[in-house]
Amino acid sequence: MSKNAATPGATILSLHVGLPRELGTPGAADPMERPWSSGIHKRPVNGPVRLGRVNLEGDGQADLKNHGGPDKAVCVYPAAHYDHWRRDLGIADFTYGAFGENFTVDGLVEGDVAIGDIFRVGTAVVQVSQPRQPCWKLPRRWRIKDLALRVQQTGFTGWYFRVLEEGDVERGMPLELLERPYAEWTVARANRIMHEAVSDRAAAAALAACPALSESWRRTLTLRAETGEGADTARRLVGPNEG
């Protein structure tokens, strides 16, 4: 058990929640304009919010097979990446919450946190479970077809927290690192193994053996280690956006 010297000063800069909405236009010729449902449009919240085992109060997901649940209770995104995306996308008002995250955090990026890290935030205790895997709904939200791929390629993915102890959280609260049991498995390294070292079955097996890794990532990486097969990345990144 150790502490990470990079975490002092880590805070929630902005907190967001949102319930699923029905979007799009029936019969639209452009696949990007067709009907879809998502909780990606979130609003900033000031004041305390209850954090339960599977989500924040007032938050929800449309696709419970691939989003939400105990291993993905809180979506976290580093504020440090926003300047890059404003320049890269040419969107000056690309503001916190643009990635559909619940916590926009200052003082942490993917190389600073590891799978299994346990933080206290407010009266809640949370644990890093996996990197975020961007899907086709992010490009649909911004009408940029390759946005999910670009997020994946940069490694600027963010990550998820599972909730070990429920409690109240609020914008401006610090994230205090309590335990770091698997320091070698940073979110950045996990991203590289999942998305770049796709033929490295030994690396897949090693990451899959991390007890704190989410069930879905362990399942995917175990299959890769045993058979060399991977998940259908194109389906996740593109989905119905190509028609």
Query: How confident is the chain (243 residues) per 10-residue block, as mean pLDDT?
Result: 55 97 93 92 96 95 72 98 97 95 98 98 98 96 96 98 98 98 98 95 98 97 92 85 81
pLDDT for the residue numbered 67: 67
pTM for this model (two decimals): 0.94
CA proximity to 53, closest of 71, 70, 66, 67:
70
User: Which residues are within 8 A (CB) of 169 and not within 5 positions of it... i.e. 6 or more apart?
Assistant: 12, 15, 48, 49, 51, 56, 121, 122, 123, 124
- For 152-205, write each residue's pLDDT tens digit: 999 999 999 999 999 999 999 999 999 999 999 999 999 999 999 999 999 999
**SS3 annotation, the chain:** CCCCCCCCCCEEEEEEECCCEEECCCCCCCHHHCCEEECCCCEECCCCEEECCCCECCCCCCCCCCCCCHHHCEEEEEHHHHHHHHHHHCCCCCCCCCCCCCEEEECCCCCCCECCCEEEECCEEEEEEEECCCCCHHHHHHCCCCHHHHHHHHCCCCEEEEEEECEEECCCCECEEEECCCCCCEHHHHHHHHHCCCCCHHHHHHHHCCCCCCHHHHHHHHHHHHHCCCCCHHHHHHHHHHC
Catalogue all structural domains in the chain, each as residue range(s) with its CATH number. 11-242 (2.40.33.20)
